[in-house]
Amino acid sequence: MSASIDKGINALKRQVDATVAAFFSSCVHCGLCAEACLFYTETGDPKRTPINKTEPLRRIWKNEYTLMGRLGKVLGLAKKVDEQLLQEWQELVYDSCTLCGRCSMVCPVGNDIALMIRKTREGMAAAGQAPAGLIGAVTRAVTIGSPMGVKWPALKAQIKHVEEDTGLKVPVDVPDVDYMLLLSSMEIMNFPEFIDAVARLFDKTGVSWTISSEAFEATNSGIQIGVSDIAAELVQRIVDAAEKLRVKTVISPECGHAYTAIRWDGPNLLGKAFSFKVRHILEVLDELRQAGRLKITGKESRKLTYHDPCQIARRGGVINEPRNLIRMFSDNFVEMPDTGKMNWCCGAGGGVSANERADEIRLKVFARKKAQLDAIKPDAIVSACSNCRIHLEDGLEEYNMDIPLLSLTESLAEHLADRDCAGAGRNE
Amino acid sequence: MTEIELLSWARGPGLQIASSIFVAGVVIRLFEILLLGRKANLAEARGTEMSSGLKTIFTRTVPDRTTFRRSSVTIVSGYAFHIGLFVVCFLSAPHILFLKDIIGFGWPSLPTPVIDACAVITIIALVATLVNRLTNKVMRFLTNFEDLLTWVLTFLPVLTGYLAFHRIGLTAPSLLAVHLLSVELLLVLFPFTKLMHAFTLFLARWYNGAISGYKGVAS
């Protein structure tokens, strides 16, 4: 990935469209976005105001795409985009933004600031101004197939364990099934219970599914760092596998940005609509609930709350499904203040967790989540993103909070009716 | 140039020049934005773009509760001066008569004391926004020359209008001429400053609502 300031500027130019121009034209510097951003509220540092993070893109828009800006450029009055600016902005664009999109929900003139920051990253990455941690993750994703360097033998070994534990067959490379399940490296390495849970849930509900040995990685570092070419390459691998196996639907696992990458950005990155559907695992499970196929037994009385992963809820639209599912096994479900589409980010999405330089700030801004949790004092937190889960665990430990974290998919599997009778796999 | 000549110029050629620049400028700026275009979304939709975009144009007028609590000064002063400006611009009898001469039709006005009170509220609210801009940590950080310029451009017509109505300081023709000139300055610079948000905000809110609505999220 050769990079230079010229490439960065050209990449930024390619990002300017009618939406960006309308957004920048409308900003009145009211500062409301700052109060919607945990990187400002928890640090009090005004340079972390969301709209300020888009300054490199704003300059390109102004200088190249407005009458007054072009005039200013001729007169030598334009503020330039140079290496120094991008270097200075790295910390704001990558370390201090999780692309959570809360700012985009409160901007009174309607600017989708998170989209503007995402677009700014395209220019930063092309100019070589991205954090080393993210560059490493992207390189591993391209060369090895996973940002954490997880290869097929590792997943194969985990599948073997799952098969031994559940007595079920985990289907691999089975063609013409309904669903192809993707996984995040985090699930494979840290939370293999997720695979276990899906195997049991799909067995009980009679779902035909498979995992592809050629494309099992759902995460997309290209999206996080802001390199569309690489993001497209990673999506293409999934499309090739799904088409080869002729599956009807690809399932995005409990991972936030993976869902955005494959569900919303994927077809646009490739420039063509998919021949299959993409659903989040929670959407699939909620469809099974609606069809009466998901049978749950026993209700928990401990106080549960749900942390909405930003890319799944606010930026993804999966908001009601987790609540429908939690109420199947809980009669004491309590919402945090500011929830659903207005939930506060955990502080580690959008590539922040892959960027070691941001370790300190991501734990600092977790104070916002702590305040939300302190308001309701739950007995356990349910969520549906491995990245949120790892960071929530880190944050809870940092702030000496003893609250267990549950995966929603795994919780459902634990409450499956008749779970002891799980027999052999039923993949037709 | 006598004050009467100045007033005639401000009412005649001055107003024509300023209005022409305003209209042409706004049209150019809107085309400048729209001609950039936007790629069609190829992902399978969960919701709609058009109706969600239209909805957000209205819903974004009301802040969510937490935002209101965290930024109440900015929001209240902002609301006050925007509403005040609208009332004194378009619902005062002299303005309606003035516009009727140009566009050929008028509409009912609000009583003078109400307009007077609105003008005072608008002036106070505008001063409050300036104080807030200079004292609020985030706003002070974001503020540039254009923010101050547009504040002056907005404030002058309200102040000179108030003075002209109450005939404070100068003779009536001079006050009116100064008021008209301040409005003309506003019109000339409007399309080339952030004042354009009065038009582009509809585009921005629509895009925001459409992007979210496509994914099934009401923004």
Q: What is the DSSP letter of A172?
A: B
Q: Is A407 helix (H, G, I), strand (E, B) or coil?
A: strand
The answer to whether the beta carbons of residues B209 and B57 sit under 8 Å apart is yes
User: Which candidate from A31, A52, A313 shows the least CB-CB separation from B136?
Assistant: A31
Between CA A365 and CA A41 the distance in angstroms is 8
User: Which candidate from B71, B192, B218 shows the least CB-CB separation from A35?
Assistant: B71
pLDDT at position A428 over 90: no
DSSP E strand stretches across A205-262: 209-210, 249-252
Distance from CA of B53 to the nearest CA of A (A): 10
User: Which candidate from B33, B140, B208 shows the least CB-CB separation from A110?
Assistant: B208
Confidence of residue A145 (pLDDT cuts 50, 70, 90): confident
Closest by CA to A60, choosing from B36, B138, B203, is B36
Residue whose pair of structure tokens reads 């600031």 in the numeric block: A113
Q: What is the DSSP string of A197-210?
A: HHHHHHHHHT--EE
Q: What is the pLDDT of residue A2?
A: 63
Tokens of A10: 């050209």
Between CA B177 and CA B8 the distance in angstroms is 8
Residue type, B64: D
Between CA B9 and CA B178 the distance in angstroms is 11
- pLDDT tens-digit series, residues A17-58: 999 999 999 999 999 999 999 999 999 999 999 999 999 999
Taking residues A189-218, report their average pLDDT: 96
Domain ranges of chain B: 3-38+73-190
Mutate to test the interface with B, among A16, A29, A311, A372 (most CBs of B within 10 A): A29
Q: What is the pLDDT of residue A148?
A: 86
Mutate to test the interface with A, among B208, B212, B214, B215 (most CBs of A within 10 A): B208
Question: Quick check: A105 and B64 CB within 8 A?
Answer: yes
Q: Does B9 touch chain A (CB under 8 A)?
A: no
In A, minimum Cα distance to B219 occurs at A105
User: Which candidate from A67, A315, A342 shows the least CB-CB separation from B28?
Assistant: A67
Distance from CA of B71 to the nearest CA of A (A): 7
The answer to whether the beta carbons of residues B211 and A112 sit under 8 Å apart is yes
Residue whose pair of structure tokens reads 């974290």 in the numeric block: A405
> Which 71-130 residues of chain B touch chain A by CB within 8 A?
71, 74-75, 78
Q: What is the DSSP string of A114-148?
A: HHHHHHHHHHHHHTT-S-HHHHHHHHHHHHTSSTT
Q: What's the mean pLDDT when you consider all of chain A?
A: 95
Domain ranges of chain A: 5-130, 141-291, 304-414
Distance from CA of B192 to the nearest CA of A (A): 7
Q: ipTM score here?
A: 0.96
Phi-psi label, residue B88: left if phi above 0, alpha if psi -120 to 50, beta otherwise: alpha
Q: What is the pLDDT of residue A149?
A: 86
The answer to whether the beta carbons of residues A93 and A121 sit under 8 Å apart is yes
- pLDDT tens-digit series, residues A401-427: 999 999 999 999 999 987 554 443 344
* Chain A residues closer than 8 Å to B192 by CB: 67-68
- Mark out the alpha helices in B1-71 (DSSP H runs): 3-9, 15-34, 50-59, 65-70
* Chain B residues closer than 8 Å to A277 by CB: 44
CATH number for A5-130: choose from 1.10.1060.10, 1.10.540.10, 3.90.180.10, 3.40.630.30.
Answer: 1.10.1060.10
Q: What is the pLDDT of residue A419?
A: 54
User: Which candidate from A49, A270, A337 shows the least CB-CB separation from B142?
Assistant: A49
Mutate to test the interface with B, among A28, A53, A57, A263 (most CBs of B within 10 A): A28
Averages of pLDDT over each 10 residues, chain B, 219 residues:
94 96 98 97 97 98 94 96 97 95 94 96 98 97 98 98 94 96 98 97 98 96
Confidence of residue A329 (pLDDT cuts 50, 70, 90): very high
Question: Quick check: A32 and B46 CB within 8 A?
Answer: no
Q: What is the pLDDT of residue A45?
A: 98
Query: A141-291 belongs to which CATH class?
Result: mainly alpha
Taking residues A332-354, report their average pLDDT: 96
